[in-house]
Each structure stands twice: as structure tokens, then as C-alpha cells.
A and B are shown apart, each in its own frame.
Chain A
């Protein structure tokens, strides 16, 4: 196994380098564990949205879900509202919250795909205009109130139950393994990859293109909803702009992680590397005393450089 050939290898190298660079200057070497915990926690959110976005991007050029932030906000808002109004045993409230968040995600995914399929709107515009609707729904149902999540859930979202690893990271890890199995071992993953490489050829080889695409958009929206739910519990309530940064983030971690923007080639380990890298580079630049400007600039340069180089590789093959 030539490990350095794996598309996620360099992303991991970069993430480790960023970790070391931040660690060495931040607290004289003492804050390593704290930094790792913070990185894992915040990376979890990027990983969860990134996994969904990666699935969509794997379907090839033109496929992207721009409704992730709005879906996150809507699911977070509605589920917290439901939990706030419910009475009964704690586990039932928590379960109801989770299920309602996932249901919101499923609805958003169905609406997105219906717009794409029935109205033949390009995915960018379809998910964009649908996200306006979700956003309005969230604003309307939120009414500026900040409903606190049940204490047990908030504890879970911020806690570190096993070996000091953040619970959120464990959740993201389990889901990532699920995605890896689905993408690399299941018939669904095969068919998704076929669509991403050549939708026409996939259809002619008997792949049920509409079903796979629909499943993918719904899954992506569900992942966004789950992230919204967890983020709302983590930060003590849903905020209207809480999803904003995850639009660019979900695409960025997919691209940095080595998934092909030309489609067909997804990469779960890379998502983790990309998410950790994106968090650590921010911490690194912060600890060097550089502001948000340099941080954004370097993020943009990294994304474009990776895209330009990665597509060049594709063209040679």
C-alpha cells in the first residue's frame, strides 16, 4: 500500500503540520490536549456537513447543496422549540428532538430534489432558492427567542465521556464509518460513483439515476439537520446565523480532503483531515497574531490551488 498516494494523505500531513505549528507557539507546549479537544469538537460539525456535501459533489459537476446553512438553522430551531414545549421523560424529549430534526432534514431534501427533478432547475439555483424559504421559516418560528436545549443534551454535546474524547467527535466518527461503508462497500456507493463519473453511461448500464440522486440530496439535508441539532445543543440554543459558515466550509473540506470535484471519487478520511486542517489553520494564524483577513485569504488561496492542481492531475490521466 503506497500510503502517500492516497488522496487524503497530504491533507492529513497538512493538518498535523498545522497542529504542531499551533501547539509549539500557543502555550509553550502545554496546551496540546486542550487544542486537540477543541479541534476535534469544532471539526465534528464540519465533518458532519462535509460528509453530506461530499455525497452531493460526488454526483459530478453542477451538483452542490447550497441549502445546508438554512436547513441547519431550521432543524435546530424547530427541534429545540419542540423539546422546549414537551413534557415527559427526558429520553423521550431527546428522542423526539432528534427525530424531528431529521424529519425536517428529510423534508428539505425532498423539496430540493423535487425542484431539481420536476422543475428542472439547476441544483445550485434550486437549493439556493429553497434555502430562502427554509431561512424564512426558521426566522418565523424562532421569533427571536432563544430556547435552551434540555440540560442532558447540552451536557452530552459538550461532554467527553470516553477517554477524554469529545462526544461529538465520537458521533461524527461513527457516522463517518457508516458513510465509508456505504460509499466503498455498498451497491449505493457504487452507483453513486458511476453517476458522478458519467451519468449517461450510468443510466445506460441500468443505474436508477433518479433514485440515487434523490437519496443523496435527502441524505445531505439530513446530515445538515443533524448538525444543526447538535450545534444548537452544543451552543445552548439555535441562532439564526448558526449555519452561515458551513456553506463554504462543507465545500472546502470536501475539496481539501481530496474528493474529486469532477465527480465519482469520494473520500471520507480526507473530510476529517480537511475539517481539522481548516480549524487548525485558523488557530495557528490566530496564535501568530494574524487576523481574520489573512486567515480568509489563505483559506481561499489553498482551496483554489488545490482545485487547480487536482483537476490538472485529472486531465493528464
Chain B
């Protein structure tokens, strides 16, 4: 029972991998693959976080700022004062949950609320780490830069992220109830469940994945910066879409989201291997997004006619 909606994301990733290996045969090695996909790990985590928000019908424009804040906490506070660091990370997750509750209870538009939050996360990040620096906790670097036999860490990490997210969101009863919120809000409240609680839970789950994204990023770069992950907002949204997710109706796929994140990371390398001017890197991302959405519209029209 393979989800047909995963076909397109898998196919595009496979084509891209083949193209990269063809252009750059040296990449076809343990080290090469690790290099190609290393930076995909935090992006994949942030994409899963964004996917949970999109799943309940909202959108998070503060993802990049939030991941940057987590990176600052991880780099500046966690190594010196682990207790305080962990407490702050937990506080960040709780704040996310509170945001979800606020949005549902007061029926606020998530775009504006998360936009406002991006100022707050950014401000907090600057306060914690005024200039780039800090260091990664040793255990974190050890995990992120581990060299397991046969399969590079980046692949193992991506697969485990996809597996955990899939089990939590797609398989567990808890995940089903969260998805129901995006599918049919009225049905959920008619079944006597608290939509405020469910939305808070969804935001908390997103917060946890975003925290992991920030920590993974520090594990790779070994330092923090208040602007380190700002582009994650756009990347995470694009990753969800590339992975077959829809903006409305709660139709998302965690495995697809991880694949989308890998595809986006790889697309960057591919374009540089093509010797395409780096000027066009961002534009290519935009064009890919538009093309995917246009293709999906055509497919849906064809389905409707059939």
C-alpha cells in the first residue's frame, strides 16, 4: 500500500540524485553523500514542524526565526548551563502550544500571529547571543558528526526523522486526531473534542520538531547566530509542498516532507554542479515550487475529468 501521492516526490528526488551522481561521480561515496545531505537534516526537521502547522490549516511564518533562537540557546546556554538551557527549550515548546491555543480560542489569523512571533523569537535570539558564536555541546556534535559504518549519518538521521514523524502523525491515534482538525473541524467539535486543546497539541508537536531542528543545526555548524536559519521559513513551506502536502484539508505526508527537504537541499548542489550562476539559485527554488503546484493542478483537473 504505497501512497500514490508520494510517487512524484520520490521520483523527483531519484532523478535529482541520478543527475548529481552523473555530473559529479565523486559524490557517489560515503563522504560525498554525507556532504550532499548533511545540511538536509535540520531542514527536514523544520519541514516536519511546518507540516504539522499546515496540517491543522495554519501556516508558520516564524519558523526560521524560531529555529535561529533555538540555535542560539543551544550554542550559548546549553553547553555552560545545561539545566537552564533545557528549561528554556521546554519553555519554547510550551510557548508554541500556548500560541496554538490562542489562535484557536480567539480565532486569530495564524499568519499575523506567527509574523509577530518572528519578531519576538528574533529579539530573544539577539538578547541571548548578540553576536555569532557559542559552541556546540560535545555530545550533540558527536551525534551529528558520527560516522556509522556503511551508511552515512545524514541518511540514517533522515530516515529516522521520517519514520518517527510517520509513526506519530500518520499511525498513532493522537496523530489522527490532530489531522482530523485540519480535515473537518466541525466533525471534531461535534464528536465532543476540544479544538483548543488539539490545536495547542499540534503546535507543541511542531515546537518539538523545530527545537530538534535548531539543535541539529548547531551540531553541524558548532556555533549559533540569530540569523542562522532565517531562510528555513521559506524552505520548510516549500519542502511540505514538494513532499505532496496540501495547504488546506489536512492532507500531508511526513515521509514526503522529509523527501521534499532532501530534494530542496540537493537542488542547491545540483544547480551549482551545473555551473548555473548562484544568482539563479533562489529563483530556481521559486520556479520549482510554481512548477510543482502547476503540475499538481493539471493532474487534479485530469483526475476530475476522468
Contacts and interface: CB of A to CB of B under 8 A. Distances in A.
A and B, direct touch (CB closer than 8 Å): yes
Contact of B106 (A133, A252, A308): A308
B108 to A, nearest CB: 5
A294 B247 CA distance: 34
A124 B289 CA distance: 13
Given A300-B116, A300-B119, A307 B108 contact: yes
A311 B107 contact: yes
Contacts, number: 130
A296 B122 contact: yes
Nearest to A57: B112
A259 to B, nearest CB: 11
B172 interface: no
B109 A128 contact: no
Contacts of A295: 123
Interface string A126-142: 00111111011101100
A121 interface: yes
B57 to A, nearest CB: 11
B148 interface: no
A273 interface: no
B127 A297 contact: yes
A122 interface: yes
A291 B122 CA distance: 12
Interface stretch (B40-48, B157-165, B196-204, B290-298): B290-298
Contact of A135 (B130, B277, B282): B282
Nearest to A136: B283
Interface residues of B, number: 44
Contacts of A121: 290, 293
B234 interface: yes
Interface in B197-216: none
A22 to B, nearest CB: 19
Chain A facing B: main interface SS: helix
Nearest to A312: B106
B287 interface: yes
A78 to B, nearest CB: 14
Contacts of B287: 129, 132-133
B111 to A, nearest CB: 6
B53 interface: no
A304 interface: yes
B14 to A, nearest CB: 23
Contacts of B112: 251, 255, 261, 303, 307
A61 B109 CA distance: 7
B289 A132 contact: yes
Interface string B149-167: 0000000000000000000
Contact of B119 (A122, A137, A303, A311): A303
B289 A125 contact: yes
Contacts of B284: 136
B91 interface: no
B115 A248 contact: yes
Q: Considering residues B106, B112, B279, which has the most beta carbons from chain A within 10 angstroms of its beta carbon?
A: B112
Contacts of B277: 140
Contact of B283 (A124, A133, A300): A133
Interface string A271-315: 000000000000000000001111111111101100110011001
B234 A128 contact: yes
Given A294-B127, A301-B120, A140 B59 contact: no
A304 B116 contact: yes
A255 B127 CA distance: 26
Q: Considering residues B118, B130, B247, B286, which has the most beta carbons from chain A within 10 angstroms of its beta carbon?
A: B286
B275 to A, nearest CB: 15
A294 B280 CA distance: 36
A128 to B, nearest CB: 6
A291 to B, nearest CB: 7
Given A140-B279, A248-B118, A293 B123 contact: yes
Interface string A243-263: 000001001100100000100
Q: Considering residues A64, A298, A304, which has the most beta carbons from chain B within 10 angstroms of its beta carbon?
A: A304
Interface in B37-94: 59
B152 to A, nearest CB: 30
A128 B61 CA distance: 11
A125 to B, nearest CB: 7
A188 B167 CA distance: 51
A115 interface: yes
B281 interface: yes
Top 3 closest pairs, chain A to chain B, by CB: A136-B283, A132-B286, A300-B119
Interface of B: 59, 102, 106-109, 111-113, 115-127, 130, 234, 237-238, 241, 247-248, 277, 279-287, 289-290, 293-294, 297
26 contacts: A61-B109, A124-B111, A125-B237, A128-B234, A129-B287, A132-B289, A133-B286, A136-B279, A248-B119, A251-B112, A255-B112, A293-B130, A294-B123, A294-B127, A296-B122, A296-B126, A297-B119, A297-B120, A297-B123, A300-B119, A300-B122, A301-B120, A304-B117, A307-B112, A311-B107, A311-B108
Given A291-B126, A293-B126, 10 more contacts: A125-B241, A125-B293, A128-B237, A129-B238, A129-B286, A248-B115, A296-B122, A297-B127, A307-B108, A308-B102
